[in-house]
Structure formats: structure tokens, C-alpha cells
Structure 1
Amino acid sequence: MADLVASPLRPPPPPLPPHPPTATDLFGDPIESHPPWFKAEAFLRPDFSPESYVAELRSFVPLESLAAELRAHADALQAELVDLINRDYADFVSLSTRLVDVDAAAARMRAPLAEFRGKVAAFRAAVDAVLADLRGGLRRRAEAAAAREVLELLLDTFHVVSKVEKLIKELPSTPSDFSTADLNSASKGSVSNDGVLQNVESGTNIRETQSILLERIASEMNRLKFYISHSQNLPFIENMEKRIQSATLSLDSSLGSCFVDGLEHRDANAIYNCLRAYAAIDNTSAAEELFRTTIVSTLIQKIIPVSPTPVVTGVSSDLLEEDYQKIKQCVEKDCKFLLEISSLANSGLHVFDFLANSILKEVLLAIQKGKPGAFSPGRPTEFLKNYKSSLAFLDFLEGYCPSKSAVTRFRSEAIYTDFMRQWNVGVYFSLRFQEIAGGLDSALSGNIVPVEIHGNEENTQTLMLKQSGKLMESLRLCWSDDILVFSHCDKFLRLSLQLISRYSTWISSGLAARKARGGSANSAPDAEWAVSAPVEDLIFVMHDVRILASELSGDYLGHVLQLLDSCSAEVRDLVKQSILQAGKSLEELLPSIMEVMIEVIVEKSVEDLRQLKGITATYRMTNKLPVRHSPYVSGILRPLKVFLDGERVSYLTKEATNDLLRGATERITSRYYEMASDLVNVAKKTESSLLRLRQGAQRRVGASSDASDNNISDTEKICMQLFLDIQEYGRNLAAIGIRAADIPAYRSLWQCVAPEDKQANIVF
């Protein structure tokens, strides 16, 4: 600084070379000197971190490029700083001339500043003292206001208690205490101390006047409760507690007497005023209980006495249908007037629920004491009747609810929940499950039993097995009015699907055992029926499965969806899909049943085909030539013909019959080809071995083999016989409507045994 003051006129340094001109594009706009990923403003952020900046850019920018850009940016900043210094260099140099005697100037300014600081501190202390006084005054003022409020509250409480006591004294103990003179004086217009009974109109009776006074007392009591709730734990209030309790008891007693008297005389105005009084003191339960004990209880006990009379022989004493009908009549006759009063619009009486807490409560108590067996699911039929009757009774009570919200409030009452809890529908379903599922399980435990057909009647749409009929009966029971509980329809749907699955398992396990030929000793109990059942019984099985699948997707499904009409479309669609899937699972059994029937017929035909092995013994080492077909050929298709000529084939559809005929003939022909080809191959091998032995012996003895070359070989004889046999077999196939040339196995058989000149055309 001294150097700057001593030589203020030092010549300025030589100016730096100017910046190179900024590059511009074709239109004169400056071209960005940095790539787009380099943002110089990032260095100015308060949270800038060099490590994070480099780590973020190194994932897509080489470090060499980043270093080059940073060096270029640093050079640009340095050049800019030099430009700024050169631009204001004269001001920077002249600054030293203005800094002469700075310390003296600072000393001169320090004294007035210290004086000003002292004045400010003194003024601040004075302001703080005044502020403290103001705050103290405000606090005392608030305390005084609070004390005044408490005093006013206590005074109001005292005045209300005194007013309530005064009004209570004007009440007689019961409405009957009013004398005829009082009634006459009141009708002329008597004057009370408080003016409550002033100017009573001639049409207003003493009961109504008393109810009006009680309503006013109730409003004052409500006001008193408000005061007490805001002045708890005060000695003055605690000292008045006995007076308040006495007034409360007197009000409850008088209000109860007036309300009961109004109920007995059907005085709508008095009842209305009493209900408003009960609502004002928030004691709705007392009014509901009084109505239950005085009116409802008397009526219900006449219908359902606590000690029921002896039961008439053959009539159950626990049925509730007739009792509910009588209770409905009593409600219409003796309770409707109060329900209408409590449901008046804009009356404020919606807080009462006489339906639940008076009527339903008394009905529940009467049933529990008089007919406790009505709730027992041990007798499912009676239980279901009582349950449905109870639901109908609840619907009847809900009919008195003036709005949807009232219905919701009625259902949310504790007594409603308790009433519904008495009906143990879960146990009822368990009993029905055992009854229905056990019946089907018993039917499926033995051999299949065809139903009895009377006379010549034949109905191809009737179930022919008792097991199938039991399944259909069980399925219909699940959705019958005498069994179904709508609230548990999901469980009955599951039971229906389980019944179908049980029937499907019974059939599939039997078919598997029949295919495995394990015999009854190795098969499951459910499969014994199929092991010993004749093939004709399988026709009934296939027929019943087809009828059941059709019924499930038709009338049965329609009946179930009709019962669930009140459910949402999504629920109904899920039910529909589940039942259709169950029907589809039954239809999937049809090919397996057909397969077993075909297999049984083929096995019987193979027994005749085994005679084919005798052809070798017939033509070996003989000069005998075949001239006609073998006897076994006529028996190959005999089991199939017998099956098709049977009476039960009419229960198969035409399509199923054609499938069975085609499948059986193809399978029989395939087995025929296998056995014939094996026979020919064995004959050829045997003949080749014999020929080699014969040629070896001839060579040893030097004999000529020309004589044997003209003989017909055993293999040729066998092929000639087989050719005659398959021609006859083809004619037998044509007799039952099957074209032999359409069967691949028959064409292979023809190629195997036919002479070379006849292999091109299959003709017989």
C-alpha cells in the first residue's frame, strides 16, 4: 500500500493481446466452442462436486477429451479476467490516492457511533419494560376473563338447576294425579309461576301439557349437561351433584310415566313430545326399553309364551312361521303408530330404533326362552323353514324404514347382529353336505345298477344308471328351495362341483382299472364296477355322461343362474363358467369310455384270430393247396356284430355308433395284420432254414435239386390261405358297412399276402 501511495503515477502495463474473434456460422451466429455435454454453469452450483462431475461424464466421454475441455475453459476464464483488469485498470491505480489518512477518519466516526449505540440500548430497555407491563396486564385480564367465564358458568348452572327443580315441582307424579278441577282450570287457562302452563287451549289435555313441560325440562337438562361438561372438578359443581342427580331421577321417572301413559292412550302429541325429550337428554335407550317392556313384551308373550303348551301330536312346536304371522299382525295393529311418529321427516327422532331395540329384541328373547329348539340345525328341514321365516320377518321390519340409510342403520344394530348369529348356517350346511355327498358316495360304492324299464318304453334322454340318477338328484337338491340357503350359495356351488368331480373320478378310475386289467384284487374300491361290468353296461355309462353334460350346460345351468339373478353380472359369469367347465370335464370322459368299449370288443375278436396260427400246421410238409377261406374268419367280427345288434345300442348316438364301428374294425384289422405278418415272416424264416439244410444234404450226397424247384413252398401255401381269408374278411367288413380298402392296416395286409399279380387292386 505504501508503494502504491509513494508512486501513484506508475505507468500502466502494456495491454494484452486481444481475444481472437469468435467463430460464426453462415448466418453470423456464434458457434458453440464447447460440445453439448460440457456445461460451464455446472461449476457455479453450490453443491458442485468434482468427483461426481468426472464420474458422471466418464461413462460416455473419454478422460482425455474432458481434460482438454477443462484446460480450454480455464484458458478462457484467465483471458476474461485479464480483460476485466485492463478495462478498469485506471480506477484500480487511482484507488490508492483516496486511502490517505483512513485511520484518522475511522477514529472520528467511532465516537458518534458509540454514543448512538448507548441511546439505542437505553431505549430498548425502556421498550422491554413497557412490553413486560403490557404482557402482565394482558395476562391478568385473561385470567380475570376466565374467572368471569367460570363465574358466569357457575351462575348459569345454578340458575338452570334451580329452574329445573322449579319445573319439576310443577309436575304431578303421574298424569292421573290431575283432578277434574285442574283439568277444567287448565282448559280455561291457568297461570303457573313460570308461565309454562299459561293459556292452554281448550283442545289440549293435561297429558299433552305435561309432555310439553317435560320436553322443556329435558332441554334445560341438556343445557345443564353442557355446563357440567365445561366445569368439571369444580367444588361448586361437586356440591350441587346431589341436586343434579335428584333432578335427573325425577325427570326420568316423570318422563317414563308420561311416555307409558301416552302409549297406552295412543296420544300422538304426548308421545311426540316425550320422544323429543328423550332425544334432548340423549337417553333413547330408555324410551326403546319402555316401549319393549310395556307394549311389545305383552303382545309377544301371548304369541310365544315362556312355558309353551304341550305339542299336538305330529305338529312341531319349534316352527316359527305362524308365530311370525301373528307378530306381523300385532306390529301392524299396535306398534305402527309409534313407528310412524318416530319416522316423521325433520322431527329429529331418527335417533330412535324401535324396530331393532324394541320389537326385534323382544322377539329374540321370546324365541330363546319359549322355543330354543328353533335355532337348532340338528333338524335341518325345520331349521331352514325357521331361518327363511326369520329372514322374511326381517324384510317385513325393514319395510318400516323410511329410507335406505335407515335400513343400513337397522342392520348395523347390535341386536340385529345377535339375531343373525343365532342361526348357525355353517352347521346346517355341514349336515346337508354329509347328507347329499354321503348319499352319492354310497351309490358309487357298488357295482353299476341300471334302472328298471317298464314295458317297451325307451327314452334315450333318460338316465339309465341309478348312480347317474343319484348324481342328478344330488345336484338338484343343492339348488332346491328346501335345501339352499342363499347366503351360502357359494358353498352349495362348491358342493355341486365336488359331486360332479366325484362322479367323474368314479368313472375315470374304473376305466383305468379296466384298461390295466389289474383285477378286483388290485383295483381301488371305486374301480371294481368297471372290472366286472359287461361291455353293454358301458353303453349306459356313455349315454348317462352325455345326458349329464347336456343337462349341466342346459336346464340345470339356467335354473342356477335364475336363482342368482340378484347377483352381479361378474358373479353370474363366474358361476356359469365353473358349471360349464364341470360339464366339459364329463364330456372329456366320452373318448375314454369309447376306447374301453372298443378294446373289449377287440379282445374278444382276437380270441378267434389266434386260430390263425393253425394255418402253418395245416400246410407244412404237405401237398395240400388252399381252396376256401378258414372257418375262423367268420368269427372275427362276430363280437362286434353281436354288440351292434344288441338292444342297448339304441342309447348310443349315431355318431358314437359310427365311431365305435370304425375304431373297432381298424383296431381288429391292425391286430389281424400284425398276427398274419408275424406268421408269414416265421414261415419264411423256417422255410429258408429248411432249404439251407436240404441243399447242404444234397451237396453231401451229390443229388440234384431240380425236382424241388417246381414245388409250391409252404410259405406260398400259407399266403394263399391268408389271401383267401382276408378276401372273406373284406366281404364281412362290407356287410357291416365298412369299406376294407379305406383301412390302412387292411391295405398293408393285402400287400403282405396277395399274389404279385393282384396286389395292385383290392378286389374280393
Structure 2
Amino acid sequence: MADLIPPPHRSANDLFSDPLDSHPLWFKPNLFLSPNFDSESYISELRTFVPFDTLRSQLHSHLSALNRELIDLINRDYTDFVNLSTKLVDVEAAVVRMRAPLVELREKIEQFRASVEFSLSALQNGLRQRSEAASAREVLELLLDTFHVVSKVEKLIKELPSAPADGSNGTTNLTDNSGLSNGASLPHMENGTNLRETQSMLLERISSEMNRLKFYIAHAQNLPFIQNMDKRIQSASLLLDTSLGHCFVDGLAHHDENAIYNCLRAYAAIDNTTSAEEIFRSTVVSPAIHKVIPHKVSGMDAGSSDDDLENDYKQMKQYIDKDCKFLLEISATENSGLHVFDFLANSILKEVLSAIQKAKPGAFSPGRPTEFLKNYKSSLDFLAYLEGYCPSRSAVAKFRAASVYNEFMKQWNIGVYFSLRLQEIAGALDSSLSAPILTPVQTSSSGRVNNEDLTLKQSVTLLDCLTACWRDDVLVLSCSDKFLRLSLQLLSRYSNWLSSGLAARNTGTGSHPGSEWAVAATPDDLIYIIHDLGYLSTVVTGNFLETILQLLSSCTVDVLDSVKQSILHGGKSLYNLMPKVIGAIVASLVEKSVEDLRQLKGITATYRMTNKPLPVRHSPYVSGLLRPLKVLLDGDRASTFLTMETRTALLTDAVTEITSRYYEQAADLVSLARKTDSSLQKIRQGVQRRAGASSDVSDHNISDTDKICMQLFLDIQEYGRNLSSLGVEAASIPTYLSFWHLVAPSDKQSSISF
């Protein structure tokens, strides 16, 4: 059929191979024609299972096939391709015909744009002129309002003389002293309204107008018209302040609650609370305070004995309840807007501070800590009393944030007070610990110290200092962290004093300052220390800790836990020193016992190269080995002050160490004896061999080593009996077992018997 497309041309080399345009199954050229084709993602996807060289080779092959196909297409339609340029006839004329309407359209658009821009400019100018006119109108209205308000204020001020400021002729139709409840609206001016209340109401009205006038001036203060009216405004403001002050003073003098309420609202309206607070201070508070603390001559001694403030504060409270309470209740009226006043701080507290500074400056001096702390606590109680007049927590916070409150608190230099207490308390302990010897406390009438009390003055001083840190006449709760640190430092100072002393005792030198006591102390003195350490650790972790936690009960749980752990650590540090003290006692006892052990050398001299028979009784020195320990434990101090647990620990450590030293010297003695016997035996055997005698002539003789071992065996039996008399089982001591096996005869090695 003629319409059929001929098959692709194939060369002879392609007859039995794949077509030239064949591709692997993984290579799909159709994907290149996709509008969303992404070469990077395509290559990264193929590279997961196709080697890069294979992929590159296949792409090059596909590019070559495309180039051949393009050439074939050009060659096939070459005639049409060449005739393409010849068919484009009169193209420039067509372009000219199309350009003419486009140019005309552009000109119309430019004309329309110019017209729009002109209209927009005209519109913007009109809006700007309108805005300027509105602004000018606002300024004009503001100036007119300002002028009207100034005129109104002046007119109202002129009406004030019609209401006498002194109020001496006014009727006294006053309400009761309960104040205005819930900020009730001002009473209407009826026939029965007194002149003082009328004047106060008029002043409140003037104040509101003056407040509005201030608002106008704040928005137009740079205008010449306002500047020209400045003298009138200042004059009106001065007259208002004067009249308002007279009316407020008159209201305070007559306790006219309505007049005072209106005056306070007037002061609040013109934002002049300072004047009202100062008038109340000078008119009411100052005379009352001066009755309590009259002014003194400036040359009075600042440290005189009448600097006590406790009675003064009591009288001040009475005067405040009598003369100031009514105003404080008025200013605390709910929803009245009078919360802006702070009469507590700026009137009452300010006057109290000034009076104390002038009349009793010594009350603030920490040089006398006891009086200072008493005045400080009285002052805190007075501040708490003043806070009782605050109607809410926010009012209390405002009172405490006042500058006068902070200035009042700064007068009490708690840092210097604590430094003085620190020197006093820590100095007492340092003075006691610097003594060259241990100082026992005074004995009772029977001549013995009670075992429930401390025995050394150093320990008593420590406990007194710890207790002093938390006494009511010493502690300042705001410095409780410092006093806690001081308590821990006292415990550490005492522990270091003991540790350094015991260390110096071990070295045998007292050159270290403060350690002379340890070198000179006897084992009986160290028993005092053991008792005091146990007593102190019990008190510190018991009653002392409970006292601190009770005083700090208002703190958080985390703070209380930290305090508890620190105190427990301090008490434990004392208790942990007891083994060191016991070790020092044991060392002293061992040194005394070692002196008797020197007699062991006499055993060798007794049986070496002699014909003495086997010993049948123990050596005399054995009874002296445990005598120092027995004397110590049977003494009055050990019987009185050592607990059973401590006594057992001391006994166990002492006998273990003495037995160990005893065994070491005995082992050396036996070892040397055996070496000597071995050498002598070899010499005898050599002599006998030269003489032709039998070598076993002396084998049946008892050697010197056997005699020495027998003597040592008898000695440790006696030593074991002495241990039993002290309540110690000899078999429980490992070195005693080793000693037994070293010197016991072969028939008694298996069992220990005395």
C-alpha cells in the first residue's frame, strides 16, 4: 500500500542487532517532554540503580540520536525551509500600518494621564487646605475654650469671699465621724448646708475647671495668645491654692468630713496632692508628734539614755487614733478617687522620722546593739500599725514603695549592727579557743560535773554563741541568712580547733597557734571532749535546729529544707570528730603500753645460751600492758561521761592496737631467735661432722627458741585473761590469733584456752 510508512532504514550491520534507536527499559525519553520535567530529580532517581557511567553514556547516545533526527528533518523539508524567507513579502509595510493606531492610542493615554494627575493635584490641595482650616478651627476653638475657662475660673474665685474661709460663723450641720460610705455623691446645697461645705464645693468646682484649663494649656502652650494669658492663669492658680488651703485647714480644725472630702477631691483634680499632705502634716500631725518628742537643744548627747522609742511609739499611736484616723478613713473611702493621697507616708511617717532625727538621733546608732535592736523592732511594729490603715494589699505595697518609707528604713543600719554582733559573738568563741589548756567548767557542790551538761568552757562558749545568734534580743529576721552563716562558721571554727589540735598532738608539736592545749591534754581531758562532742551534736541537730526552723517558719519549704540540711551537716561534723579523739586517747594508751613491751628483750637474754628449764609462769610485764587502759576506763571521768557505745569503741580500738604492737615485737623476737638457732645448729652440725660424731646427738635437746616461745605463750595466756577481765574476748582479735599460732605448742594450736 502506497500510504504505508516505509520501515526505518537498517544497514547490514543492524540486521542481527537491536535497532539504533532502541533504549533500555529504564530509559524513557518521553519523560523529557513532560512540562514538570526536572533533570536533577530524574538523574538522582536513576542513579539509585543505574551506574553513573552507564547513565551518561545513554544520555550521550540519546543526544546523538536527536541531532541525527534534526538533520534528517531539515534535509527532508529543505525546500520549504529555503522558501520560508521568500514568502515573507511586504513585511515592513504591514508593520507601518500597525504602528499608526498604536501611536495614536499612546497619545490619548498620555493626555488622559495628564488630566488625571492635574485633578489629583487639585484634590490634594483642596484636602490640605481643608485640613489646615480644620486645624486652625481647632486651635481657635481651643483658644476660645481656654479664654472662657479662665474667665469662668476668675469669676468663681471672685465669688469665694462671699463664703468666709474661717468658717467661724458657719452653721455646724456636720455628719457623724463615720465618713462618706462607698463614695456617696456630694450632698445637695440645701438651706441647712453650712458655709464651709458650700465653699469646699465651690472650690472643687473651680479645681475641676482648673484641671480642664491645664489640659487646654498643655495642647496650646506655645501659642502667643496663651502666653499672654499666663499671668491671669498663674494668679488664678495661686488664689485657688490659697483658698483651698484655708478651707482644708478649717475643715481639719472642725473635723468637717464633707468639707474635707470636697477639698481632697479638689486637690486630686488639680493634681496637687503634695500640698494637702503637707498641710495635714503641719496642721495636725506635727503638733501631736511634738507633744511626744519635743525638740531638744542641738547640743544634747546623741547617745543619751532617753533614746528609747518604745513608749514614744505607744503615745504616737494614741494621737494617730485620736487626731488622724478620721482623715485616713476619708482618704480610704471606696471609689472616691482619693487613693492618690498617701498621708501615712508623706504626712505621718515623714513627721515621725523628722522628729526622731532632730530629737533622738542616737536611736538610730548601732553602737549600742541592744538598744538599737529594741528601737528597730519597735519601729517595725509602728510601721505594721500604720499599714493597718491601708485598705488593700496594693495600698500596703504603695506605702512600702514610698520614698519616705525607704528613707526611714535606711536609718537603721542593720549591716553595721550585724558586724558588731559578729565581733561580739565570734570574738567570745575565739577568745575561749585561744586558751593554752582545756578549761573544765565549775564543778557542782559534790565536786563532780553533771553528765547531762557540757564539761569544758570552750564547749559552753560555743553553745552560748550559737544560742545568742537566735535570741530575741540579738536576731534580726531580715538578716537571718547572715546569722545562719555565722552559726555554721562557729561550728566550723570549733571543729577546726579540735582537728588542728589533734593533728598537732599526733605530730607531737605545739608550734601551731591554738594547738598547745592538745599536746598538754591527758586522756582524761580528751574524755571531756568526747562527751561534749556528743552533747553538742545532739543539741545542734535537736533543740537548736527546731528553734531555727520555728523562727523561719514563714519561709518556703525549699528554704527550710536547705537550712535544715546545713544545720544537720554542722552537727554531723562535730559527731564525726569523735573517732579522731578516740584515736588520740588510744595513741596515748598504746605509747604507755609500749614502754612495758621493752621488757620483751629480756626474754631473749634470759634463755639465750643458758641451761634454764622451760618457763612455767608468765612474765611480770604482762600485767602492765593493759593497766593504763584499765585505769582510764575505771576512772570517774570515763564512768561518768562515756556512753556504753563510746566506751566499747575505745576499748576495742585500744586492745586491738596494743595487741598488734605486742604481736609485732614478739614476732620479730621469735624470728630473730629462730634465725640464731638455725645458725647455731649449722655450726654444731659442722663441728660434729668434723669430730665424726652423729649429727642427731642434740636433736632431742630443747632449743632456746622453744623456751622463748613457751615464755611468750605463757605471757599471751595471761594477756588473754587480762582481756577477759576487761570484757574483751581475745579470740575476736585477729592479731591475737596470729600471736597464738606463732608461739603456742603444737598440741594447743587448735584451741585457745587460758
Q: How big is each residue's C-alpha offset from its partner over 1:178-215, in whole Å with a ceiling of 9 and x where there is no partner?
A: 795x979xxxxxxxxxxxx9994122111111111111
**Distance change (3 Å), C-alpha of 1:74 and 1:213:** farther
Q: Find out whether 1:498 has 2:486 as its counterpart.
A: no
Q: What displacement does 1:714 show?
A: 1.8
Cα distance, 1:705 vs. partner?
6.8
Q: Is the 8 A contact 1:275 1:287 kept in 2?
A: yes
Shift of 1:275: 0.6
Which of 327-336 and 141-150 deviates more?
A: 141-150
Alignment partner of 2:318: what SS? helix
2:261 maps to which of 251, 272, 286: 272
User: Which residue in 1 is equivalent to 2:607?
Assistant: 619
Is 1:684 matched up with 2:677? no
Q: Does 1:326 align with 2:315?
A: yes
Q: Does 1:753 align with 2:743?
A: yes
* 1:384 paired residue number: 373
Match of 1:630 in 2: 619
1:260 maps to 2:254: no
For 2:391, the aligned partner's letter is P
CA separation of 1:73 and 1:294: change in aligned 2, threshold 3 A: farther
Indicate the residue corresponding to 2:463 in structure 1: 472
**How has the CA–CA distance of structure 1 residues 332 and 72 changed in structure 2, closer, same or farther, with 3 Å as cutoff?**
farther
Which residue number in structure 1 is paired with residue 121 of structure 2? 132
Structure 2: which amino acid aligns with 1:551? V
- Is it true that 1:584 corresponds to 2:575 in the alignment? no
State the match for 2:404 in structure 1.
415
SS in 2 for 1:484: coil
The CA distance in 1 between the partners of 2:356 and 2:68, in whole Å, is: 106
User: Counterparts of 1:218-297 in structure 2 under 5 Å?
Assistant: 218-297=207-286
> Which of 584, 591, 596 is the matching residue for 1:608?
596
User: 1 CA distance for matches of 2:30 and 2:660?
Assistant: 89
Offset at residue 455 of structure 1 (A): 4.0
Contact 2:689 2:695 (C-alpha < 8 Å) held by counterparts: no
Deviation per residue, 1:246-293 (Å, 9 max, x gap) = 111111111111111111110111111111111111111111111111
1:514 corresponds to 2:505? yes
User: Which amino acid in 2 is paired with 1:611?
Assistant: Q
After superposition, the C-alpha distances for 1:374-396 in whole angstroms (9 at most, x for unaligned) are: 00000000000010001111111
Aligned partners of 1:174 and 1:257 also within 8 Å: no
1:98-136 CA-to-partner distances (Å, cap 9, x unmatched) read: 966543333212111211211221222222222222211
1:142 deviates by: 1.3
For the structure 1 residues 62 and 507, does the alpha-carbon distance in structure 2 shift closer, same or farther, using more than 3 Å as the test?
farther
Whether 2:668 is the aligned partner of 1:714: answer no
Q: 1:200 to 1:724 in 2, by over 3 A?
A: closer
CA-CA distance at 1:566 after TM superposition? 0.6
The separation in 2 between residues aligned to 1:32 and 1:620, in whole angstroms, is: 117
Q: CA deviation at 1:627?
A: 2.0
Deviation at 1:711, TM superposition (A): 3.3
Match of 1:460 among 451, 464, 468: 451
Report what 1:659 is aligned to: 649
CA distance in 1, matches of 2:110, 2:337: 66
Change in CA separation of 1:64 and 1:508 when aligned onto 2, cut-off 3 Å: farther
Structure 2 CA distance for aligned equivalents of residues 423 and 436 of structure 1: 21
Distance 2:6 2:126 in 1: 73
Amino acid at match of 2:650: L
Unmatched runs of 5 consecutive residues or more in structure 1: 1-11, 25-29, 45-52, 185-196
| Residues 146, 216 of structure 2: 8 Å contact kept | yes
- AA of the residue aligned to 1:664: A
- The equivalent residue for 1:536 is 524
Residue in 2 that maps onto 1:49: none
Does the CA-based 8 Å contact 2:444-2:450 persist in structure 1? no
Specify the code of the residue in structure 2 equivalent to 1:660.
Answer: L
Distance 1:357 1:653 in 2: 65
Q: Tell me how many residue pairs correspond in the alignment.
A: 714
Which residue of structure 2 lines up, in the alignment, with residue 744 of structure 1? Answer: 734
Distance verdict in 2 for CA 1:417–1:105, change over 3 Å? same
Aligned partner of residue 443 in structure 2, secondary structure: coil
- Tell me, yes or no, if structure 1 residue 673 matches structure 2 residue 669: no
Query: Identity over the aligned pairs, expressed in percent?
Result: 62
Give the Cα–Cα distance (whole angstroms) in 1 for the partners of residues 63 and 483 of structure 2: 86
| Equivalent residue number for residue 9 of structure 1 | none
User: Quick one: which of 724, 727, 740 aligns to 2:714?
Assistant: 724
How many angstroms apart in 2 are the aligned matches of 1:593 and 1:134? 104
Aligned to 1:425: 414
Could you tell me how far apart the structure 2 residues matched to 1:579 and 1:616 are? 58
Distance in 1 between residues matched to 2:746 and 2:30, nearest whole Å: 96
SS in 1 for 2:138: helix
Shift of 1:140: 1.4
Shift of 1:758: 1.8
One-letter amino acid matched to 1:475 = L
Report the Cα distance in structure 1 between the residues aligned to 2:444 and 2:452, rounded to whole angstroms: 16
Please tell me whether residue 641 in structure 1 is matched to residue 622 in structure 2. Answer: no
Using the alignment, how far apart are the partners of 1:259 and 1:19 within structure 2?
Answer: 113
Query: Partners in 1 of 2:344 and 2:361 — Cα distance?
Result: 22
Structure 1 position 482 matched with structure 2 position 482: no
Cα contact 1:161–1:224 (8 A) shared by 2: yes
Structure 1 residue 212 corresponds to structure 2 residue 212: no
Match of 1:572 among 539, 553, 560: 560
**TM-score, normalising length from structure 1?**
0.86
| Counterpart secondary structure, 1:461 | coil
Deviation at 1:67, TM superposition (A): 5.8
Task: Say if 2:438 is the partner of 1:443.
Answer: no
Corresponding residue to 1:599 among 587, 607, 612:
587
Q: Distance in 1 between matches of 2:65 and 2:396?
A: 86
The 3-state SS of whatever aligns with 2:417 is helix
1:733 aligns with 2:723: yes
The CA distance in 2 between the partners of 1:333 and 1:468, in whole Å, is 54
Instruction: From the superposition, tell whether residues 558 and 33 of structure 1 become closer, same or farther in structure 2 (CA, over 3 Å).
Output: farther
Retained in 2: the 8 A contact 1:211–1:274? yes
Say which SS state the counterpart of residue 201 (structure 1) adopts: coil
Q: Provide the residue aligned with 1:546 in structure 2.
A: 534
1:576 CA drift (Å) = 0.7
Question: Could you tell me how far 1:172 is from its partner in structure 2?
Answer: 2.0
Q: 1:178 to 1:755 in 2, by over 3 A?
A: closer
1:148 positional shift: 1.3
Distance 1:71 1:212, change over 3 A: farther
Mean CA deviation greater in 108-117 or 469-478: 108-117
What amino acid is the match of 2:749? Q
Q: CA RMSD in A?
A: 3.8
The CA distance in 1 between the partners of 2:472 and 2:425, in whole Å, is 15
1:434 is matched with 423
The alignment partner of 2:306 has SS state of coil
Structure 2 distance, partners of 1:170, 1:663, is 105
Is the contact between residue 173 and residue 254 of structure 1 (CA under 8 Å) also seen in structure 2? Answer: no
Following TM superposition, by how much is the alpha carbon of 1:747 offset from its aligned partner in structure 2, in angstroms?
Answer: 1.2
Q: Distance in 1 between matches of 2:158 and 2:470?
A: 67
Residue in structure 2 matched with residue 187 of structure 1 by the alignment? none
TM-score, normalised to structure 2, is 0.87
Please state how far the C-alpha of 1:688 moved relative to its aligned partner.
Answer: 3.2
Per-residue CA shift, 1:340-388, capped at 9, x if unaligned?
Answer: 1111111111000000000000000000000000000000000000100
Q: Corresponding residue for 2:148?
A: 159
Q: 1:527 maps to which residue?
A: 515
Q: 1:561 aligns with which of 535, 543, 549?
A: 549
Is the Cα–Cα contact under 8 Å of residues 724 and 730 in structure 2 kept in the other structure?
Answer: yes
Q: Distance in 2 between the 1:32 and 1:124 partners?
A: 54
- Cα deviation, residue 72, structure 1: 5.7
Q: 1:280-319 counterparts in 2 under 5 A? A: 280-307=269-296, 316-319=305-308
Q: 1:126 to 1:710 in 2, by over 3 A?
A: closer
- In 2, the alpha carbon distance for the partners of 1:74 and 1:147 equals 82
